[in-house]
Structure 1
């Protein structure tokens, strides 16, 4: 193999690798900024998050284990929804997988973390983890919702 072939091969490989590396780097920076804004928003609510999770650069959830609070954020291009849940007022937390069967395949339309409260007059709160209307593909949102349901239920049980 001569030197010119090696240089052409190297340039070709770099032409593919560099853009992919730049996209990954930009995605990580965007996610880091989103997490930073999420933590600041929680601090404005006097919530000091001890554990957080960000996914799809549109969703974030965190828990303050000392003050027993859950904080959630869903951000869209035109709207932002955030709220805090006092875990001492909660009775349970479960995952709702809204799906349908089409031609033998299961299509997931939405995944929610559903928070129920001790006071029966207080309506359940649905924390969206995935919506087919806003995301093209489902990755690990179901496992993430199940993980957080377990975490929240463990905190609520320990709190009672």
Structure 2
């Protein structure tokens, strides 16, 4: 009787905790695969990133020596790599899209989209980097703070490029 009770207890405990363990393991595996993809792209472009950040399915990093910005986003099976040469950078701006909604008789603004737009001195196209999309399956907190941080990093780089060197 004790053996059958022990077997039933083991089966019950395993059936309760095994799904949690497998879900946790699969999440770590997917995150590990994304990090491998990010490292592979960094190596492929021969970059040494001084500042970098990974969140959700996105990655951004800047190589100050080569004046390049790498932005990557994984969407399902697709990976979008954007390598931007910052040598002709004018400035960087945050572009947002909001929708008004009424919650408990109060108007609230709901963030729909958050992009960084990178403008260049010479008539190149504007590059847009998507930091947040309401329709995306992954939601983040503090996306506006993250965008402001990277706007400051990129604009500081633009200021360094545009300021003339004064010889003594």
Tell me the TM-score normalized by structure 2. Answer: 0.74
Q: Any residues of structure 2 matched to 1:101-116 within 5 Å, and which?
A: 101-103=100-102, 104-116=107-119
CA distance in 1, matches of 2:20, 2:142: 22
Structure 1 position 46, deviation (Å): 2.5
**Cα offsets for 1:18-45 (capped at 9, x unmatched):** 9767756654553343223212212212
Secondary structure of 2:131's counterpart equals strand
With over 3 angstroms needed to count, the CA separation of the structure-2 counterparts of 1:28 and 1:151, relative to structure 1, is farther
1:46 partnered with 2:46: yes
Secondary structure of 2:100's counterpart equals strand
| Alpha-carbon contact 1:95-1:145 (below 8 Å) kept | yes
Cα RMSD between the aligned structures?
2.4
2:165 corresponds to? none
Number of equivalences:
146
Structure 1 position 111, deviation (Å): 0.7
With over 3 angstroms needed to count, the CA separation of the structure-2 counterparts of 1:136 and 1:71, relative to structure 1, is closer
Secondary structure of 1:135's counterpart equals coil
2:98 corresponds to? 99
CA distance in 2, matches of 1:24, 1:83: 30
Greater mean alpha carbon deviation, residues 24-33 or residues 68-77: 24-33
| Alpha-carbon contact 1:94-1:114 (below 8 Å) kept | yes
Which one has a bigger Cα radius of gyration? Answer: 2
Tell me the TM-score normalized by structure 1. Answer: 0.77
1:141 to 143, 157, 163: 143
1:9 corresponds to? none
CA distance in 2, matches of 1:136, 1:72: 17
Structure 1 position 78, deviation (Å): 3.6
Secondary structure of 2:93's counterpart equals strand
2:78 corresponds to? 79
5+ long unaligned stretches in structure 2: 1-12, 163-168
**Cα offsets for 1:51-80 (capped at 9, x unmatched):** 211111x11111112111100111111422
